[in-house]
Structure 1
């Protein structure tokens, strides 16, 4: 039996796919299978998969009509034979010892889920940016393993709803029947947070072992424009799951706090015609449907988020889009203050320096392009 099944959905990533695959086939843990599902790529991704599969017997490749990463991961889940499951996006990459360390930790603590740290790799500047907020130890029990219901801090803020910075016990996932939502974006939120809140044995590996590639991508912007409502359906599906298993009342306040946070992240990071559509939906229906109107200001963790919610509720879109230019400034100040409070001076300085380096790099590229 393979120790780990690594499931990789692939779509039009010929530029980055080799680095992704190399990071997996060169893992120090050798007893693995690698399941790659090509989601209808129109570039050279399939040819690269065929090349790697011909060289490494552990690689299984399949293709399907374009249906999104959620559908591709679900197909990989059906085929997986490993004791544990790992998910990796095809433009990201792992540290060479990630699977060995995560599997050893899983066995040591008999864990349903192992959560480790990740950072962001800025492809344009070859810079790795720490992301301490992706695993917030202050929110979780000091002793591992622990149950999802033991998390006293908000579990939806303690971890991020990504699948690729976690290792999952295959038997646990199949027993519970978890699947990824087959929608274009936010397709892993339901899977991850259902597993986290249901799990009886979660453990932490406090090392940075995965790298998410961050690069300017017009295709990603187009995808988000078309799928601007996916986050809402993910949140609704998560609430329905919590209600079905009887844990919603325990997590209700945390869920609503996170629903506001994730809703605002989406509206603050989208552009084009979808921006006004999303604004009007949140203002007219979705804030109420998500339960946000049930809570008071003191119930929300980040006060600037509640303030923005109030602005949206009170302000027509025509005026809000002019007012909103100051929102990023308020959020940045609030973000720096929370970084300092949660992670101390060193991480705060790294955070600020990362922002400065990114701005300088962008300016130099613009200057070079103008010559």
Structure 2
């Protein structure tokens, strides 16, 4: 059996489309655990209607505690060998369960990571969310672990949980659950799972479609909690230190840190929130001078330069940072160039002498 866990909160406009895509799976030995997080619209009624029509749907109710609590509560009652997490405004392909579950069973995988795309609610425009599968094609036919790619394990395969099939007993035995914060609550969950799993497998096919552009989504309203993601990043670091693996995966963690900072800076439109983030970063001492700087030579050039701008300018321009972030994403898409790395090394050496 395979368990779908779906947190639900005020998504009456999109919920039926999501549920239909799950109920119509070609693999039928599934349970669909929907956790209503205190919705005040018609979402709960929709869930109850679907539950009457399909016995595989289990509806749980809780007062509004957030998506993390809803997922954790759903995970507690899940009976499937593997579990999938789906956001209630997204849509999945009808062969998701069949293809990914069979892949997991064939390789005895702890985690199967599959591809996803985004589609705009406003324009309908689609975009592939992960191009890194191309870099590691061999991992579609052989399992890997964090030890195989220690400098990249936290940076390649998207932070959200919704593009991963995970063995339930693996989560339970390692006490991995969602962090109870409003935003970025799956960052620590995914990071811990990737660091701990012995058998991870890739499946380079788009099985889930991530909806963007909704007015009431957490991403659209992240100006209310601009510093929430720092809690998630701290949780990951504490976990790594407690398990004596921080030094082994430090580079990947620091890159995750900076990527998350700059993504958040460029995803909020509130200047006060941006200033809060900048001040937080300025006050964090990463001890660059005391650390072997060759570690930072591995950083993508434009990512490193964004940090240098924030650290060394009293009032960095948000326009400049926004432009640099776009260049960073573009350079990542084209896998960066040797010229960029050469220039970056020069900048690092100059900074070390200052």
- Is this a same-fold pair by TM over 0.5? yes
Relative distance call for 1:121 and 1:295 in structure 2 (3 A) is: farther
Normalising by structure 1, what TM-score? 0.84
For residue 344 of structure 2, what is the aligned residue in structure 1?
A: none
Secondary structure of the 2:19 match is: helix
State whether structure 2 residue 327 is matched by structure 1 residue 329.
Answer: no
Q: Tell me the CA shift for residue 78 of structure 1.
A: 0.7
Partner Cα distance (2:143, 2:168) in 1: 17
Secondary structure of the 1:174 match is: helix
- Could you list the runs of 5+ residues in structure 1 that have no partner in the other structure? 343-371
Between Structure 1 and Structure 2, how many residues are aligned? 332
For residue 123 of structure 1, what is the aligned residue in structure 2?
A: 121
Q: Tell me the CA shift for residue 25 of structure 1.
A: 0.4
Task: Map 1:146-295; keep pairs closer than 5 Å.
Answer: 146-218=144-216, 220=218, 223-272=221-270, 273-284=272-283, 287-288=284-285, 294=291
For residue 369 of structure 1, what is the aligned residue in structure 2?
A: none
Give the number of the structure whose residues are more often helix, by fraction: 1
Structure 1 stretch displaced more, 219-228 or 87-96: 219-228
Asked whether the equivalents of residues 253 and 299 of structure 1 are also in contact (C-alpha less than 8 Å), the reply is no
> Which whole-Å deviations, capped at 9, do the CAs of 1:332-356 have from their partners, x for residues lacking one?
23433332347xxxxxxxxxxxxxx
Q: Tell me the CA shift for residue 268 of structure 1.
A: 2.3
Secondary structure of the 2:59 match is: strand
Q: Tell me the CA shift for residue 218 of structure 1.
A: 5.0
Asked whether the equivalents of residues 36 and 61 of structure 1 are also in contact (C-alpha less than 8 Å), the reply is yes
For residue 347 of structure 1, what is the aligned residue in structure 2?
A: none
Aligned mate of 2:81, from 80, 83, 90:
83
Q: Tell me the CA shift for residue 93 of structure 1.
A: 1.2
Partner Cα distance (2:50, 2:77) in 1: 19
For residue 304 of structure 1, what is the aligned residue in structure 2?
A: 302
Asked whether the equivalents of residues 117 and 210 of structure 2 are also in contact (C-alpha less than 8 Å), the reply is yes
Q: Tell me the CA shift for residue 169 of structure 1.
A: 0.5
Q: Tell me the CA shift for residue 152 of structure 1.
A: 4.7
Task: Map 1:9-158; keep pairs closer than 5 Å.
Answer: 9-133=7-131, 135-138=132-135, 142=139, 144-158=142-156
Runs of 4+ residues deviating >3 angstroms: 139-143, 218-223, 290-300
Relative distance call for 1:175 and 1:6 in structure 2 (3 A) is: same
Relative distance call for 1:222 and 1:209 in structure 2 (3 A) is: closer
Asked whether the equivalents of residues 300 and 306 of structure 1 are also in contact (C-alpha less than 8 Å), the reply is no
Asked whether the equivalents of residues 119 and 130 of structure 1 are also in contact (C-alpha less than 8 Å), the reply is yes
Relative distance call for 1:90 and 1:341 in structure 2 (3 A) is: same
For residue 352 of structure 1, what is the aligned residue in structure 2?
A: none
Partner Cα distance (2:269, 2:112) in 1: 35
Asked whether the equivalents of residues 130 and 157 of structure 2 are also in contact (C-alpha less than 8 Å), the reply is no
Secondary structure of the 1:48 match is: helix
> Which whole-Å deviations, capped at 9, do the CAs of 1:276-306 have from their partners, x for residues lacking one?
222212212xx32x66775648435222222
Q: Tell me the CA shift for residue 248 of structure 1.
A: 1.5
Partner Cα distance (1:173, 1:219) in 2: 27
Q: Tell me the CA shift for residue 4 of structure 1.
A: 0.7
Asked whether the equivalents of residues 193 and 238 of structure 1 are also in contact (C-alpha less than 8 Å), the reply is yes
Q: CA RMSD in A?
A: 2.0
Partner Cα distance (1:150, 1:248) in 2: 16
Structure 1 stretch displaced more, 87-96 or 154-163: 154-163
Relative distance call for 1:77 and 1:292 in structure 2 (3 A) is: farther
Asked whether the equivalents of residues 183 and 218 of structure 2 are also in contact (C-alpha less than 8 Å), the reply is no
Partner Cα distance (1:105, 1:139) in 2: 17
Normalising by structure 2, what TM-score? 0.88
Q: Tell me the CA shift for residue 193 of structure 1.
A: 1.1
Structure 1 stretch displaced more, 266-275 or 94-103: 266-275
> Which whole-Å deviations, capped at 9, do the CAs of 1:232-282 have from their partners, x for residues lacking one?
111111111112222211101111122112112112222322222222122
Relative distance call for 1:98 and 1:232 in structure 2 (3 A) is: same
